[in-house]
Chains A and B, each alone.
Chain A
């Protein structure tokens, strides 16, 4: 609320009074909000009767958190932030970045390259599955999806709420074509990307004239249309039953990971059968795909088309008056963004071995978009960090058994996933309204490249 706006110079007596009052209000509000949701719980007993449980203890905990939290924010954290802001403003010189910070991208890449091996070495092949697959591969899929969406939303400024549709197109392209025609992963990966790009153009045409909210609504509908087609076109897609038995990817056709195959990877090298090899292979595949996405995005940003995307995000009319064809600019943004979604989809199908429309709900689009926004639109590094925090964080929730000792044995942390997701978004948006990494490197410069901090500018037309 007004905590940050309050000047830090007010006497501490007044501040204490003020903080206490704020805390009291926060307590009252949270009591009012939670009394019906948390304080009273309705369940059904065996005879299907509605039973009202009272949970005053839990309610008291929540209200106490609100009161204490508000007090701490107003009394300690708010002034601390204000003081820090003032100190920052006073410091005019832009600090030079340390060696570590400058090379963070390379360090991260190196860490990722050794990650699966390190995990196998640390916890053994069987236990490493969880870390390589549930954390590594899954996070990297989201990194790739978010980087793909970043082209559409972050660079070209076209708000796309139906991005998961292209993910679905890619996944179903791979699953169906490999099952019906026996084509291999490496043939179908580019094909899935091309098909998704094609659907990107199909979506792009009708929405050429739309911007902002209207565009968002149409893309949202598009995502739902694709999902409904997948559900109802049962002859081909088997509807809600999904497609199972999707073939695994192979090492360029030389070694296979199918258990019965003659050229099975484990057999060829005389290793013990384990699914760990396939997961480690998948990890490197998705890592390579992410690297390609990153390189392409960075290259495109330096090319005229990339700069045209950014200009389009800023001002469409000005773009046209400078001779930029906004139609092709938008369509390329949609199709290239969609293409990466398609690649990720094909990979997803090969990894899961089973896909159904359930995996491609609006919820997925929302998560991908949240990752892009949290990461700081346009920043590849920020988006990767956001994906690790969001996706890795929700996976970590499964591990937090100690929460059960606090909230009782029935407490399943996974169920609070979205609550925590939302809380994290609110916190990031309050503290860093432009996302985790909000520095944009100019693509054009005269003598030397200088990062432009968002602190120098306000949103919109200055």
Chain B
């Protein structure tokens, strides 16, 4: 593939829940090695876009291209096998399986070739997980669960990592830790990350480019620095809460 092709290209995607239109023609591009964020208010359709990329639900209109290949109608588990990994909203770890088993589930697509190596990598990234590896996922704190959810996604050696609200319900210090880990992965390994966040300030700080979503449409896009400085964005998402 030529380097100019975006890794992920969402073209005019419309998604419906029954008769309700949640996405009204969304265009998003994510290039290799980028961290791109998507910010917006509750119910803007951020998570729906994330789920639509994974084919759950599938888009009714428009196309989703991954590495130039149309994945709009591909079943979810096959999309995952193209190495799009997601840390879903609400983390969705396996509560009754141990931390180690959770990580192993993340690597279920691999033939265990890189398993040991990858586990060590994730334990270096999140030392807390190493301490808790024999514990059940459900007994972890929220922050640890988020680390586990990201770690599990990383075990699949993804080309694209989708993060849905990683800061949800976490203490600012933990959010900082997690975002630093993501930044590290991006800088050291060139991991491409598409992150959906309500915590607009932290997300814009982390990312290179950003999209702002309102009522199922992208209303603004540009380099994160510009969005941070933009008075409209500031008024809508940033005022009254610097973290």
Contacts and interface: CB of A to CB of B under 8 A. Distances in A.
A461 B80 contact: no
B139 A462 contact: yes
A456 B139 contact: yes
Nearest to B120: A446
Contacts of A307: 97, 101, 104-105, 108
Contacts of A442: 97-98, 100-101, 134
B100 A321 contact: no
Interface stretch (B28-36, B86-94, B204-212, B223-231): B86-94
A431 interface: no
Contacts of B140: 462
Contacts of B45: none
Contacts of A323: 77-78, 80-81, 108-109, 156
A282 interface: no
A321 B82 CA distance: 11
A457 B88 contact: no
A324 B100 contact: no
A326 B94 contact: no
Contacts of A457: 95-96, 136, 138-139
Interface string A423-450: 0000000000000000010111110001
B106 A322 contact: yes
B56 interface: yes
A395 interface: no
Contacts of A321: 54, 56, 76, 80, 85-86, 88, 92
Contact of A318 (B94, B96, B109, B135): B94
- For chain B, give the interface size range: 35 or more
B108 A452 contact: no
B100 A444 contact: yes
- For chain A, give the interface size range: 20 to 34
A456 B97 contact: no
B143 interface: no
Interface stretch (A112-120, A245-253, A309-317, A352-360): A309-317
Contacts of B94: 310-311, 314-315, 318
B130 to A, nearest CB: 9
B138 A462 contact: yes
B237 to A, nearest CB: 27
A320 B92 CA distance: 11
A308 interface: yes
A447 to B, nearest CB: 9
Contacts of B54: 320-321
**Max chain B CB contacts within 10 Å: which of A304, A308, A458?**
A304
B215 interface: no
A324 B108 contact: yes
Interface string B95-120: 11110110011101100000000010
Given A311-B94, A445-B100, 11 more contacts: A311-B97, A321-B56, A323-B77, A323-B80, A324-B77, A442-B97, A442-B100, A443-B101, A444-B98, A461-B95, A462-B138
8 contacts: A313-B96, A318-B93, A323-B109, A323-B156, A442-B98, A442-B134, A446-B133, A446-B134
Q: Identify the 6 closest CB pairs spanning chains A and B, nearest first.
A: A462-B138, A323-B80, A314-B94, A318-B92, A320-B76, A457-B136
Interface of A: 304, 307-308, 310-311, 313-315, 317-326, 440, 442-446, 450, 452, 456-458, 460-462
